[in-house]
């Protein structure tokens, strides 16, 4: 069961989590919203097992995980296609997913030959071509222009159907399109300010207001 | 074209200087003029001993180089992974680095047969260099990429070939390049000290004994030419390997 029981964590003398309690659900897509520096990425790192807490216990999602890191983390010396196949993704599947995010024809390019937005889409293609039962997504649409962001958002919504996901974002539209549950946090130390189903919000502006008023 | 002309002019200037000094000295035994050295080199190149000696020396140094690379990479993998091994072995590295290479050559004369001494000497030059550089390469592998590989459960083979090898490559090439030059010179020095038969070092030793200064110079030129050739070959190989990987 993915949950935080009495979890504390400090980093560089700063308390990020202080006896934090929180639970997530399988087969649910949860968006965590908050201002940058609130420590929301820490939730993702702990529940995915990338980081250990100082104290308390963190349970994880079941099944195979996939990741979209905030900083892309592409192999700088490998082509776009190789960035996917290096994870063991079959070349045909890799090509299909590159095309899905609009990178058809860019397979042989190195990351340094791609624009910032294209690199982001490459990281997104890698995350979904790898596939899995749980998706950990950190600021997925960061650096994408409005038009591309819309297409990629629709693609991700389709891919996430029926899966577990933890989405870290500060973008209300992204949260409402992709998630069933919206959690607003503040911090550090991290605190849950609001925890509601996304259906509660009639439009992104309402969530934006809730986020501003936290 | 302009660069080539300038290079030729610079060479001509120094050859003239050499000729001038040789004429001032006036003794071929002390400083032979460039033309007699060229004649000696051409005469040598026409003998089978020359090519056999050169091949012998090159192969011995390459053998030491390859052994040093292999041992260096393996030790680096061990010391980067296990800090205790690093603590245990670092005095060995310091000892090898601090000991004059001549001491090793003389010790090797006691321990090994003569033909193995240049191999051993080249090995001792390359081993600590490759070890230190590759270890540094492993340590400076981007932790974010390693975390990504761990998160995605990247196959172990790909972790090695797609993350570690490209990260270590520049460190390794730097070590290999300087190691090759140093191993070559030290290997020849070892051959001179132990007067190895049918080798460049052995020939240098004989030239000194019989005061054949032209031959001494000619062999030295052969060493320099071979060194340049080996370096060029190595860069060709590295570039070819890079292209093959990209293809």
HEC readout, chain A? CCEEEEEEEEECCEEEEEEEEEECCCCCEEEEECCCCCCHHHHHHHHCCCCCCCEEEECCCCCCEEEECCCCCCCCCCCHHHHHHCCCCCHHHHHHHHHHCCCCCCCCCCHHHCCHHHHHHHHHHHHHHHCCCEEEEECCCCCCCHHHHHHHHHHHHHHHCCCEEEEEECCHHHHHHHCCEEEEEECCCCEEEEEEEHHHCCCHHHHHHHHHCC
CATH number belonging to the domain at A3-64+132-212, selected among 3.40.50.150, 3.10.50.40, 3.40.50.300, 3.40.50.10740: 3.40.50.300
Confidence check: pLDDT of B24 > 70? yes
- Do B98 and B218 share a structural domain? yes
Domain-wise residue ranges, chain A:
3-64+132-212, 74-131
Q: What is the pLDDT of residue A95?
A: 95
Average pLDDT over every residue of B132-143: 94
Check CB contact of B173 with chain A, cutoff 8 Å: no
Beta-strand pair A3-11/A14-23? antiparallel
For A45, the closest chain B residue by CA position comes to B151
- Do B52 and B18 share a structural domain? no
The interface predicted TM-score of the complex, written ipTM, equals 0.91
CA–CA distance, A102 with A114 (Å, rounded to integer): 12
Number of domains in chain B: 2
Question: What is the per-residue pLDDT across A134-190, written as a single tens digit (0 to 9) for each?
Answer: 999 999 998 888 888 889 999 999 999 989 999 999 888 888 889 999 999 987 888
**Nearest partner of A9 among A60, A56, A57, A54, judged by Cα:** A54
3-state secondary structure string, A136-194?
Answer: EEECCCCCCCHHHHHHHHHHHHHHHCCCEEEEEECCHHHHHHHCCEEEEEECCCCEEEE
- Do B15 and B102 share a structural domain? no
CATH number, domain containing residue B222: 1.10.3720.10
Show residues of chain A in contact with B154, CB under 8 Å.
Answer: 86-88
Weakest-pLDDT range from A69-83, A126-140, B90-104? B90-104
Average pLDDT over every residue of B26-47: 89
- For Cα atoms A151, A154, A157, give the angle at the middle one, nearest 5 degrees: 150
Q: What is the pLDDT of residue A48?
A: 92
Please enumerate residues of A whose Cβ is less than 8 A from a Cβ of B. 48, 50, 65-67, 69, 71, 73, 75, 77-79, 82, 86-88, 130
pLDDT band at A119 (very low <50, low <70, confident <90, very high): very high
Interchain proximity A75–B144, CB inside 8 Å: no
Confidence check: pLDDT of B150 > 60? yes
Interchain proximity B158–A73, CB inside 8 Å: no
Q: What is the pLDDT of residue B243?
A: 60
Question: What residues of chain B, 184 to 203, have a C-beta less than 8 Å from chain A?
Answer: none
First-to-last C-alpha distance (Å) of chain A: 28
pTM reported for the whole predicted model: 0.84
> Percent of chain B, pLDDT > 90?
44
> Which residue has better confidence, A33 or B197?
A33
Question: What residues of chain B, 107 to 166, have a C-beta less than 8 Å from chain A?
Answer: 144-145, 147-148, 150-152, 154-155, 158, 162-163, 166
Q: What is the pLDDT of residue B244?
A: 56
Query: Which architecture does CATH list for A74-131?
Result: Orthogonal Bundle (1.10)
pLDDT band at B149 (very low <50, low <70, confident <90, very high): very high
> Which residue has better confidence, A199 or B5?
B5
Interchain proximity A50–B151, CB inside 8 Å: yes
Cα-Cα-Cα-Cα dihedral of B174, B178, B179, B181, to 10°? 150
Confidence check: pLDDT of A25 > 60? yes
Show residues of chain A in contact with B163, CB under 8 Å.
Answer: 75
The distance of Cα B16 from the centroid of its chain, to the nearest Å, equals 31
Interchain proximity B158–A87, CB inside 8 Å: yes
Confidence check: pLDDT of B245 > 60? no
- Do B239 and B196 share a structural domain? yes
Interchain proximity B162–A88, CB inside 8 Å: no
For B142, the closest chain A residue by CA position comes to A73
Mean per-residue pLDDT over chain A, rounded: 90
Average pLDDT over every residue of B204-209: 84
Weakest-pLDDT range from B69-78, B93-102, B117-126, B152-161? B93-102
- Do B116 and B11 share a structural domain? no
Beta-strand pair A55-58/A29-33? unpaired
- Do B78 and B62 share a structural domain? yes
Question: What is the per-residue pLDDT across B122-134, written as a single tens digit (0 to 9) for each?
Answer: 999 999 999 999 9
pLDDT band at B247 (very low <50, low <70, confident <90, very high): very low
- Do B158 and B48 share a structural domain? yes
The domain in which residue B2 lies consists of 1-31
Confidence check: pLDDT of B25 > 70? yes
- Do B46 and B17 share a structural domain? no
- Do B5 and B56 share a structural domain? no
Average pLDDT over every residue of B58-63: 91
Q: What is the pLDDT of residue B6?
A: 93
> Which residue has better confidence, A59 or B210?
A59
């Amino acid at each position: 069961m993915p949950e935080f029981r009495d979890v504390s964590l400090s980093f560089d003398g700063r308390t990020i989590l202080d006896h934090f309690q929180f639970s997530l659900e399988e087969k649910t897509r949860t968006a965590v919203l908050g201002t940058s520096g609130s420590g929301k990425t820490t939730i993702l790192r702990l529940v995915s097992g990338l980081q250990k807490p100082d104290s308390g216990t963190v349970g994880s999602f079941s099944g195979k995980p996939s990741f979209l890191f905030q900083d892309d983390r592409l192999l700088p010396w490998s082509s776009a296609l190789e960035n996917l196949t290096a994870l063991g993704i079959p070349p045909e599947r890799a090509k299909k997913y590159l095309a899905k995010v609009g990178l058809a024809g860019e397979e042989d390019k190195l990351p340094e030959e791609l624009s910032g937005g294209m690199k982001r889409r490459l990281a997104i293609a890698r995350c979904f071509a790898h596939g899995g039962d749980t998706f950990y997504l950190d600021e997925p649409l960061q650096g994408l222009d409005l038009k591309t962001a819309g297409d990629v958002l629709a693609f991700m919504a389709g891919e996430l159907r029926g899966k577990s996901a933890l989405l870290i974002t500060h973008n209300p539209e992204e949260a409402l399109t992709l998630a069933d549950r919206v959690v607003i946090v503040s911090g550090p130390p991290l605190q849950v300010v609001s925890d509601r189903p996304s259906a509660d919000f009639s439009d992104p502006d309402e969530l934006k207001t809730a986020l501003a008023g936290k | 074209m302009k660069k080539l002309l300038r290079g030729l002019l610079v060479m001509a200037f120094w050859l003239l200087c050499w000729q001038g000094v040789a004429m001032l000295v006036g003794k071929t035994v002390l400083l032979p003029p460039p033309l007699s050295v060229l004649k000696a080199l051409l005469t040598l190149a026409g003998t089978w001993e020359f090519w056999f000696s050169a091949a012998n020396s090159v192969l011995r140094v390459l053998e030491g180089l390859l052994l040093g690379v292999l041992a260096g990479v393996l030790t680096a993998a061990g010391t980067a992974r296990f800090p205790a091994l690093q603590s245990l072995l670092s005095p060995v590295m310091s000892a090898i680095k601090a000991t004059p290479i001549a001491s090793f050559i003389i010790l090797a004369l006691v321990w090994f047969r003569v033909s193995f001494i240049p191999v051993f000497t080249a090995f001792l030059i390359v081993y600590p260099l490759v070890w230190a550089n590759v270890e540094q390469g492993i340590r400076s592998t981007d932790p974010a990429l390693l975390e990504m590989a761990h998160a995605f459960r990247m196959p172990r083979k790909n972790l090695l070939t797609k993350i570690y090898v490209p990260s270590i490559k520049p460190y390794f090439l730097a070590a290999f390049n300087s190691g090759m030059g140093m191993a070559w010179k030290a290997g020849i020095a070892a051959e001179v000290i132990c007067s190895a038969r049918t080798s460049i070092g052995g020939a240098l030793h004989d030239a000194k004994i019989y005061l054949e200064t032209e031959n001494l110079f000619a062999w030295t030129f052969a060493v320099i030419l071979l060194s340049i050739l080996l370096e060029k070959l190595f860069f060709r190989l590295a570039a070819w390997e890079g292209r093959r990987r990209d293809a």
